[in-house]
């Protein structure tokens, strides 16, 4: 089939690669280059970078605003009716206007089991909520965000060890076959779209840097927050007066003899070797992987061994004060 691909984030790369191998790509549309890194060097999106290297003969468009009339004309001239059989949209980053999609079979791959977790951060929202299962949905495009008809879904369990980064990669790898199944149904005329249950809709808000905090009230909500915000924005605490990112953790019940942390936003080190931190309700947050300021991620035991003076029980992890 002849496919136009619209995407920006790395989540769409496995599907783009599969489409390039098994179909004819008439073009790729991505976001413009943006400043990145300490030098603020203009950097292409993951999709644009991959397309430039591996699809050199395929038109690559990077519109600043996809709804501009000249952009709409260019895309529809490139891949309008008769020139493309379907448009695949994955983590593109801009809303596609109705005039762009007129008479087009356009599908979106979304990283949740819609109608649960419509919005910008569905993977993180699922972990934060303690969901046991997540997945992907392929939907038609609609005026309202992620509200299109569902064409296909795949499921995947959420394990206690999964971070948002882990699930992102697993769900991205599930995307190609799910999209292919929809394209096969399109080719055979056997699509069976289903409307979403509006009464079951939940929303996944866009992440912000200030979200990366925990209150040490109880270990399980802390674990979820640490894993949901790994790799970004990352939960950061103050330890020994320096920032420390908490990347992976395990939640454990309160032992009978467990002391309680004594102040809001503070966790107390219970055991230096194992990284066990006591929360205010007595439950234990065991730190598995951390990242000191200016260093690479490391297992807790490596971090503990490198501390001078040596760590002692009772040392405090504190939630940083919000900026003024």
Could you read off the pLDDT of 13-67 as tens digits, one per residue? 999 999 999 999 999 999 999 998 778 899 999 999 999 999 999 999 999 999 9
pLDDT confidence tier of residue 324, bands split at 50, 70 and 90: very low
Residue bearing the bigger pLDDT, 261 or 170: 170
| pLDDT attached to residue 82 | 86
* Residue whose entry in the numeric block shows the structure tokens 């891949």: 79
| pLDDT attached to residue 290 | 98
Range ranked top by mean pLDDT from 94-98, 253-257, 287-291, 320-324: 287-291
Minimum mean pLDDT among 91-105, 144-158, 183-197, 256-270: which range? 256-270
- Judge if the upstream peptide bond of residue 44 is cis by omega within 30 degrees of 0: no
Give every CB contact of residue 79 below 8 A, 6+ residues apart in sequence: 2, 4, 26, 27, 87
**Does 91 score more than 50 pLDDT?**
yes
Residue bearing the bigger pLDDT, 40 or 238: 238
Q: What is the mean pLDDT of residues 59-81?
A: 94
Q: Fold for domain 2-204?
A: Rossmann fold (3.40.50)
Minimum mean pLDDT among 76-85, 288-297, 306-315: which range? 76-85
| pLDDT attached to residue 81 | 86
| pLDDT attached to residue 261 | 53
| pLDDT attached to residue 250 | 98
Distance CA 2, CA 22 (A): 10
For residue range 150-190, list pLDDT tens digits in order.
Answer: 999 999 999 999 999 999 999 999 999 999 999 999 999 99
Identify the bridge partners of residue 273 per DSSP, sorted by sequence position. Answer: none
What interhelical angle do 13-22 and 164-188 show, nearest 10? 30
Report the 10 Å Cβ neighbour count for 293: 10
Q: Do domains 2-204 and 209-318 have the same CATH topology?
A: no
- Taking the whole predicted model, whether its pTM rises above 0.75 is answered as yes
Q: What is the mean pLDDT of residues 66-79?
A: 94
Strand runs (DSSP E) across 50-202, as ranges? 60-61, 86-90, 106-110, 118-119, 133-140, 150-157
Domain boundaries, the chain: 2-204, 209-318
Task: State how far Cα 241 lies from the chain centre.
Answer: 30
pLDDT confidence tier of residue 260, bands split at 50, 70 and 90: low
Distance CA 245, CA 243 (A): 7
The closest of 106, 108, 75 to 90, measured between CA atoms, is 108
CA distances from 180 to 24, 85, 210 (A): 13, 13, 38
| pLDDT attached to residue 323 | 52
| pLDDT attached to residue 322 | 61
CATH code, residues 209-318: 3.10.25.10
Structure tokens at 314: 């009772």
Phi, psi of 137 (to 5 degrees): -130, 140
């Amino acid at each position: 089939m002849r496919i136009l691909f619209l995407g920006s984030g790395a989540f769409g790369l496995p599907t783009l690669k599969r489409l390039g191998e098994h179909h004819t790509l008439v073009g790729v549309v991505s976001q413009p280059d943006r400043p990145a890194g300490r030098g603020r060097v203009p950097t292409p999106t993951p999709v644009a970078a991959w397309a430039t290297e591996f699809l050199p003969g395929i038109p690559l468009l990077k519109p600043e605003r996809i709804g501009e009339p000249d952009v709409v004309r260019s895309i529809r001239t490139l891949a309008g009716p008769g020139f493309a059989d379907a448009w695949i949209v994955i983590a593109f980053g801009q809303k596609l206007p109705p005039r762009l999609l007129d008479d087009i079979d356009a599908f979106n791959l979304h990283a949740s089991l819609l109608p649960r977790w419509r919005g910008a951060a569905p993977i993180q929202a699922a972990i934060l909520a303690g969901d046991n299962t997540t997945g992907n949905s392929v939907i038609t495009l609609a005026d309202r965000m992620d509200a299109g008809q569902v064409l296909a879904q795949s499921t995947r369990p959420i394990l206690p060890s999964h971070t948002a980064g882990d699930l992102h990669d697993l769900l991205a790898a599930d995307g190609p076959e799910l999209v292919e199944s929809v394209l096969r149904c399109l080719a055979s005329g056997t699509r069976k779209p289903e409307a979403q249950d509006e009464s079951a809709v939940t929303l996944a808000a866009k992440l912000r840097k200030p979200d990366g905090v925990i209150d040490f009230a109880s270990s399980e909500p802390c674990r979820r927050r640490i894993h949901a915000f790994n790799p970004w924005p990352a939960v950061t605490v103050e330890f020994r007066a320096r920032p420390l990112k908490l990347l992976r953790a395990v939640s454990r019940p309160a032992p009978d003899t467990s002391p309680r942390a004594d102040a809001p936003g503070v966790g107390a080190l219970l055991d230096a070797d194992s990284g066990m931190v006591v929360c205010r309700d007595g439950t234990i947050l065991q730190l598995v992987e951390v990242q000191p300021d200016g260093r690479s991620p490391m297992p807790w035991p490596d971090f503990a061994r490198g501390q001078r003076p040596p760590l002692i029980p009772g040392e405090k992890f504190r939630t940083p004060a919000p900026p003024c």
